[in-house]
Each structure stands twice: as C-alpha cells, then as structure tokens.
A = this chain, B = another copy of it.
Amino acid sequence: MKKLVAKSAAALAVLSLSALPVFAQDAAETPAVSPEVAYIFNTLLFLIGGFLVMWMAAGFAMLEAGLVRSKNVSMQCLKNISLYSIAGVMFWITGYNLMYTGVDGGFIGSFGPYSFDPVGGDALDTGYSTASDWFFQMVFVAATASIVSGTVAERVKLWPFLIFTAVLTGIIYPISGSWQWGAGWLSEMGFSDFAGSTIVHSVGGWAALAGAIILGARKGKYGADGTVHPLPGSSMPLATLGTFILWLGWFGFNGASQLAMGSIGDVTDISRIFANTNMAAASGVIVAVILTQVLYKKVDVTMALNGALAGLVSITAEPLAPSMWATLFIGGVGGAIVVFAVPLLDKLKIDDVVGAIPVHLLAGIWGTLIVPLSNGDASYGTQIIGIVSYGVFAFVASGIVWFILKSTMGIRVSDEEEALGLDKVEIGVEAYPEFGTGSQRL
C-alpha cells in the first residue's frame, strides 16, 4: 500500500511527539497509546487483515470451480491452490524487495529475497512487525494471480499457466506496484489508489485480458455467425460461496490497508472502511439485480454475484473518504458495468469464463477514476495517468510472457483434450465422478 511509508513515518512522528516528552514533562502527558501498544495493534491489523485476504484465495477457487463446467473443476481447484503457493514463494524470492525496497521515487526496487524480523524481534521503530507486513502484502499478490486463472479457465494448460503466475507475482506485479506503494514515481505524482482498484485488480484484469486474447475463446463459445453459446457453470452454490468468501475477505483487503490501528483515528477510519466496503458491494448487487430484471425479465444470479464483486473492486481505490451516498453510487455503477460489459466482451469474442475482466479490470478503472469525487487530494488527470500507465505496462508485459509461452511450450490444450475436459487430460482426477450426465453436459 502506498500509505505504508507515509503511515509509518507519520506514526513515528506521532510517537516521537507523544512518547519522548514523557521523559521531559509531567506524567499527565503519558501517551494515551504507548508505542509498544500501537505496535501490537498495527501488527495485529496486518495479521487479521492478512488471514482474511488469504481466505480470498479460497473464494476465488470456489467462485471459479462453480463457474466452469464440471469437466474442468479439478483443474481449477488445482490451479488456485498452486497459484496461491507460487505467489507466496515468488513474492518472497523477488517480489517484496522489488516492490518496497529502495524504489525512491523510481520505477523499480531491488533484487533479492526478503528477510523478516528475527525471533523475539523488538525493532519498535518500524511501528509494526516486518513479517506481518510481508504476510499482508503477499496475500495481495496472490489475489492478482487469482484474477487471471478465472478468465483463462477451461483451455489453458497447467504448466504454462503456473509459469505465467510465477512471472506475474514475482516480477510484473511487484515492479508496477513499486510505482505507487513502493513510493515510486506515481506516488510522487499524487496518484491515489488506497487498497488497489488499479494496482491489484486492474493489473490482474489486464493480465487476464492479454491471456484471453492470445489463448482465444473456448471451442463452441462463439458460433461462426457471431452467436454466443452460454456454457453454464457447474455449481451456483459454490459460485455464491466464493462470492461471500471474497466479500468477507475484502474487509481485510480494504480495512487493513489503513496500515495502522494504534490510534483512535486509525481504528475509526477502519470502521468507516468496513461500512463503506460492505455497502458498495450491496449496491453492486442491488443494481445488477434490478438491471438484469429490467433488461432480460429474469434475474441472473451470476450477475448478482459479479455485481457484488464489482462493487467491492470499485470502492477499493477509496474506501475511506466517500459518504454513504457516494459509496452507494460508486458501488452501484460497478454493478452496472458488469451487466453491460459481459455481453460487450462476448461481442468482441473475448472469452472470459468467470467475468473477471468486467469485475476487476473495468470496475477497477472506474473505482480509480472516481477517487477525486470524494478525496480532494486526488486529481482526475493524475488518476488517468496512473490508470493508463498500469494498463500499458501490465497488458504489454503480460502479453509478452503469454506470447513467449505460446511460442515455446504452447499454452492451449488440443481440441480433443478441451472437449474431454482438463480434469481427465491433465489431472486424472474427476471433480464429480459419480454425478450423472445431465442434459446440458457439454
């Protein structure tokens, strides 16, 4: 998070102002929250936020398992648990330092694995445990990779996908992340993205878009005459469960991005963020439900779910400042984006299996763009510069990696393998071996 540096500096300033005078002044000025207590609260925030965001990995897994066809469900489960694992290792080996160490207003940090506090560490001056910060930042990069896996599902080979994940989480995301949260050039310019509408969600969305274009659509999705054939997901309750998990995890995603809980101002802000995060999602659901009823005379449950997620992505760039009315507006537009963008992508024959591009890329752009509405420190011009910069870099870098993988090992299974399903071809374990072949089995 961008505010990490600023926050801890600010915290230290507060600490030095309030803690030191104890020695010089009378006891009545003992700081209300001692630096040690603030350190514990700050670290606890990272730990709670961290486990909530870690839980989002399960949310993506369930959402995607529910939205792919049953013949590809085991593969989707495997990809999700693997990408979460790879993201952690890569973010330790190269990611964290590329993103946070020695960026100094530039474009990239330094190379090398990250080192935590030692056992029993007592480096009070950081204001929090460095391992807790690492953990919290690590789960964010996993979220970026999860976005990709949904879009390219049902036809991408396992190993090229995992290699792409390693590059995305170890290099691409950390470099672009450094521009803002590592106190790089965009941060100096005044770009504002509180918890990552652009930095996490749009970057994942751009990587997914590049993959979807280079991979091509699933067989049977688009007719030669331009007709679109729905390929219904295998389990709506799993998709619903995944959405609820993501919603829950987002309280950690946005709330703990406050990066400090050791003062009443900080914990009050976290509370506002919780309320706003929840209500943006609620607004996204309500708008998506109403719109699909009006447009199609039936309510599409997948639109309601993606409406929630789009509302969440939309508020992520600025979950603190908006009033409740602004929050409902921001989240509601997110829900509308999903309803209109899903068919639009189909017109462009971009096959996004789970709707991740509307949810994460488009709503992420929207959320970042609208920050100045409620946050006076942000400007529309700088927001656009940031959005475009992230877009160009993430799309081009991802495209190059996908292209190299395609040219070397290949990224797509054969047509027969696709028809048979990835579970039989690459995994050897069917997701639901006993459930009969329904009429819609494809």
Contacts from A to B (Cβ < 8 Å):
22-23, 26-28, 30, 32-37, 39-41, 43-44, 46-48, 50-52, 54-55, 57-58, 61-62, 65-66, 69-70, 73-75, 77-78, 80-82, 84-86, 88-89, 92, 113, 116-117, 119-122, 124, 129-132, 134-135, 138, 158-159, 232-241, 243-245, 247-248, 251, 255, 261-265, 267-272, 274-275, 278-279, 281-283, 285-286, 289, 293, 296, 298-302, 304-305, 308, 320-321, 324, 328, 426-442
Cβ contact within 8 Å between A304 and B40: no
Q: B302, A429: Cβ atoms under 8 Å?
A: yes
21 contacts between A and B (CB under 8 A): A22-B30, A37-B37, A39-B267, A40-B263, A43-B268, A44-B267, A50-B274, A51-B52, A51-B248, A58-B241, A81-B304, A84-B282, A85-B281, A89-B283, A116-B275, A116-B324, A117-B271, A232-B429, A300-B428, A300-B429, A434-B441
Whether B113 pairs with A299 at a CB distance below 8 angstroms is: no
**Complexed CA–CA distance, A34 and B18 (Å):** 14
Q: How far is the CB of A243 from chain B (nearest CB, A)?
A: 7
A261 B44 Cβ-Cβ under 8 A: yes
Known: A30-B30, A120-B265, A121-B268. 9 other contacts (CB 8 A): A47-B251, A47-B267, A65-B237, A81-B305, A82-B304, A84-B282, A129-B267, A131-B268, A299-B426
Asked whether B116 lies within 8 Å of A272 as measured between CB atoms, the reply is yes
- Complex Cα distance A158/B432, Å? 25
A30-B27, A85-B281, A268-B121 given; A236·B440 CB < 8 A: no
Query: In the docked arrangement, what's the CA distance between A261 and B264, Å?
Result: 15
- Complexed CA–CA distance, A121 and B269 (Å): 7
* Residues on B with beta carbons closer than 8 Å to the beta carbon of A244: 55, 57-58, 61, 81
Question: In the assembled complex, which residues on chain B have CB atoms less than 8 Å from the CB atom of A65?
Answer: 237, 240
Q: Is the CB of A304 within 8 A of B78?
A: yes
Specify the chain B residue showing the minimal Cβ separation from A113.
B324
Whether the pair B54, A268 counts as a contact (CB closer than 8 A) is: no
Min CB–CB distance A289 → chain B (angstroms) = 6
**Structural contact, A434 and B431, CB atoms closer than 8 A:** no
**Cβ–Cβ < 8 Å partners of A289 in chain B:** 78, 82
**Nearest CB on B from A37, distance (A):** 6
Contacts A58-B245, A237-B235, A244-B57 given; does A438 touch B438 at CB 8 Å: no
Judge whether A434 and B434 touch: CB under 8 Å.
no
* Interface pair B440/A92, CB less than 8 Å apart: no
CA distance A300 to B81 in the complex (A): 12
Q: Is A234 within 8 A of B433, CB to CB? A: yes
Chain B nearest CB from A136 CB (Å) reads: 9
Complex Cα–Cα for A130 and B66 (A): 38
Contact call B426/A298, Cβ cutoff below 8 A: yes
Q: Evaluate contact between A131 and B286: CB separation under 8 angstroms.
A: no
